[in-house]
Amino acid sequence: MTGTDEGGDLPTESRVNDFAFRVATVNGTGSASANGLILKAIHRMGVPVSGKNVFPSNIQGLPTWYELRVNRKGHLARTPKFDLIVAMNPSTYAVDVAEVQPGGWILYDDSWPLSKTLIRSDVTYLSVPFARLCVDKFAGSRERVLMKNIAYAGALGALIGLDMDIVRGLLEETFSRKKALLESNYVAVKMGYDYARTHLDCPLPIQLDKMEPDSRHILMDGNTSIALGCIYAGATVGAWYPITPATSVMDNFTMLCKRFRTDPDGSKRFAILQAEDELAAAGIVVGAGWMGARAFTSTAGPGIDLMCEFIGLAYYAEVPCVFFDIQRTGPSTGMPTRTQQADLLSVAYASHGDTKHIALFPADPEECFRLTVEAFDLAERFQTPVFVVSDLDIGMNDWRIPRMTWDDDYFWDRGKVLDEAELAELDSFSRYLDVDGDGIAARTLPGVSAKGAYFLRGSGHDKHGEYAESEDGYQEVVDRLVRKLETAKSALPDPVIERREGASALLVCLGSSDGACREAIDLLGSRGLVLDLLRVRAFPFSRDVEELLAEHEIIFVVDQNRDGQFRSLLVNETGIEKSKLRSVRHYSGTPLSAVHVIKEVLPVLDSHLDHTAEASLSAHPADLLGSRV
């Protein structure tokens, strides 16, 4: 039987493992469990999949969406158009109907009527009475609300071809210790599945086909990965103040410390402190770093603003510490549950006066883990604050990433730390004396030896660590800090550089923009438009970055912010002529897609290149690249 309530027959080509759908629900109704169930089931079928949360910043009651994209080639950046909408929230019916692609489908709960004004002739409507079914099957309003979400997971399973054995296995893993809840979930998922199989045409032309099981990849969010990296890197002190989207970094670190930093006798080898505000959290981290602990804080843009006083102290007094900035939209409070890359200038030059900081930019949760470990090594090696700059998209969404490896031979790089024996050989200890010419002075840890004692100060000081206001003494120290950062450039993670024969331009990005940029390059390349790729992974920029920029006349710089902050950094910190850098900007709060990139790139290529490429450069990007971008 067909589930078309309105509209004509819409023949659609069969598309296997290449489509996107969106689930619209109400925040606080338990839909996250159902959405996670769907995501994990697709992943266990061996099919590349990504899931993106679009949720409000309140606790309960406002609309929320979950976007899933399936792509057998592994292109999993966000898509702005959807083949299927699961409309479970009547208050967003109008928005949801507008979002679905022509020829697509809307699965909705017909327990609430759909206005005739929302009927599109180019869309197929699939109705299931989820609420009424749950009233008949379950007792209690809360259970009915929760099970309605599991029921739509079952209906989706029938429509897109989910492996229901995998779904049942996931339910058993999740609820094995809660038999009553497990039984309720079984009933709900089967109820939705059976209804769809009986009343709707299943499966749809967009469907899943099981691929080879992929043990090489896992699903993980960036904040969990950062917490795991902190454990691996030997961090023992975390100080924080709760803030979206960074809170789960410390939540996960706490959970992992209880497991891996607690001795059999119950002794704890960690200290986690929720401070009264972000300024206090930063102060705790700086103090712990001076004492020799590997210490960090996790925050977002508003927190970085408040921490700047202590960041400046750590820079000038040369105290190792790590700051995790999980970026969200600004300015001010902004939209706490939306993503941007708008803190780039803030972290590069945080605090007043002449400061410049090491910043690392992971592209996904796998790099969050690796760059977290590097951040702690770099902080101690160069005795300076180091920023790991992620964003909400990476931090709070599950990504398909390569399975991470654990090297038991790894040990921390603590840099130039003098022990008691080394201090005994010195006539005297000067805290800020550059002996090796690399800008890095040796440090001591409190309590090791009285000979290595010094007064930590943020006020003017000379190379001996003594208070000074003389021009030469002050300038010698701050000039050495510049040399130290120059030395650091060669120790930072290399940029990702991909040259392609016949490339006519260069696309430059950082962080979570990577996936969308790669997809845009692949799609443009299939139409005869070839671009090189440069993904920057660290600041200050290396010589490799400058050299590749110099090779190209047409350079696109991708910024997930309004003001082109990444472009500004490249202009400020390299010798590139700024007129060569063209901005590709996306700052609505949603993750970047290939469509956004192509939309900005095409007009420029159209005006600079001949028209020998296969692609019609004047075409709209969605027409050029197909509906599933």
Q: What is the 3-state secondary structure (H, E, C) of 241-281?
A: CCCCCCHHHHHHHHHHHHHHCECCCCCECCEEEECCCHHHH
Q: Which residues pair with 298 in a beta bridge?
A: 324
How far is it, in rounded angstroms, from Cα 261 to Cα 227? 13
> In the block, which residue shows the tokens 């993503």?
339
Cβ–Cβ under 8 Å, residues 334 and 304: no
Question: What secondary structure letter does DSSP report for 461?
Answer: B
User: Please, what is the average pLDDT of the chain?
Assistant: 93
Domains in the chain (CATH in brackets) are 15-207 (3.40.920.10), 220-402 (3.40.50.970), 420-489 (no CATH), 496-625 (3.40.50.920)
For 367, residues 6+ apart whose C-beta sits below 8 A from its C-beta are: 537
Q: For residue 187, how many other CB atoms are within 10 A of its CB?
A: 17
Give the pLDDT confidence score for residue 61 in this predicted structure.
73
pLDDT for res 437: 96
Whether the CA torsion 461, 465, 466, 470 is positive or negative: it is negative
Quick one: DSSP state of residue 300?
A: -
The DSSP code for 426 is S
Q: Closest by alpha carbon to 537, among 364, 334, 283?
A: 364
* pLDDT of 5 over the 50 cut: no
The pLDDT score that the predictor gives to residue 2 is: 40
Inform me whether the pLDDT recorded for 620 exceeds 50.
no
Query: Greater confidence, 419 or 615?
Result: 419
Closest by CA to 343, choosing from 245, 453, 432, is 245
Is pLDDT at 30 greater than 90 in this prediction? no
Lowest mean pLDDT of 20-34, 47-61, 236-250, 274-288, name the range.
47-61
Q: What CA–CA distance (Å, rounded) separates 107 from 5?
A: 11
Task: Encode burial over 444-461: b for 16+ CB neighbours within 10 A, e otherwise.
Answer: beeebbeebebeeeeeeb
Question: Is 29 or 518 the better-scoring residue by pLDDT?
Answer: 518
Contact predicate 397/50, CB 8 Å: yes
pLDDT at position 626 over 60: no
Angle at 226 (CA atoms; ends 485, 218), nearest 5 degrees: 130
pLDDT digits (tens, 9 = 90+) for 408-465: 899 999 999 999 999 999 999 999 999 999 999 999 999 999 999 999 999 999 999 9
Does the pLDDT of residue 289 top 70, yes or no? yes
Q: Strand 124-128 vs strand 100-109: parallel, antiparallel, or unpaired? A: parallel
- Say what the pLDDT of residue 575 is: 93
Question: In the predicted model, what is the mean pLDDT of residues 149-178?
Answer: 96
Query: Which residues have a Cβ under 8 Å from the Cβ of 329 and sit 6 or more positions away?
Result: 335, 336, 338, 339, 340, 342, 587, 589
**Of the candidates 399, 397, 398, the residue with the CA atom closest to the CA atom of residue 590:** 397
Q: Which of 18-22, 179-183, 227-231, 298-302 has the lowest mean pLDDT?
A: 179-183
| pLDDT at site 627 | 44
Residue 81: pLDDT band (50, 70, 90) is confident
How many residues are given for the chain? 629
Please check the confidence at residue 592 and state whether its pLDDT lies above 90.
yes
Task: Give 140's contacts (C-beta < 8 A, 6+ positions apart).
Answer: none
Q: What is the pLDDT of residue 614?
A: 45
**Could you tell me which of 115, 120, 76, 117 has the C-alpha nearest to residue 100?**
120
Is pLDDT at 588 greater than 50 in this prediction? Answer: yes
Of 519, 517, 590, 588, the C-alpha closest to 53 is 590
Residue with tokens 């900081």: 357
What are 475-505's pLDDT values in tens digits?
999 999 999 999 999 999 999 999 999 999 9
For 182, 505, 532, the CA distances from 609, given in Å and listed in that order, are 61, 10, 16
- Report pLDDT for 13: 67
Q: Residue 60 has what pLDDT?
A: 66
SS (H, E, C) 99-164: HEEEEEEEEEECCCCCCHHHCCCCCEEEEECHHHHHHHHCCCHHHHHHHHHHHHHHHHHHHHCCCH
| pLDDT of 622 over the 80 cut | no
- Give pLDDT, residue 610: 59
Share of the chain above pLDDT 70, in %: 94
Query: How confident is the model at residue 281, as a pLDDT?
Result: 98
Is the predicted pLDDT of residue 613 greater than 60, yes or no?
no
In this structure, what is the dihedral angle of CA atoms 251, 255, 260, 261, given to the nearest 10 degrees?
A: 60
Query: Distance between CA 275 and CA 282 in Å, rounded?
Result: 9
Residue-level pLDDT at 467:
93
**pLDDT band at residue 14 under the 50/70/90 scheme:** confident
Q: Is the pLDDT of residue 618 over 70?
A: no
8 A C-beta contact, residue 482 and residue 441? no
Q: Which residues contact 428 (CB under 8 A, 6 or more apart)?
A: 451
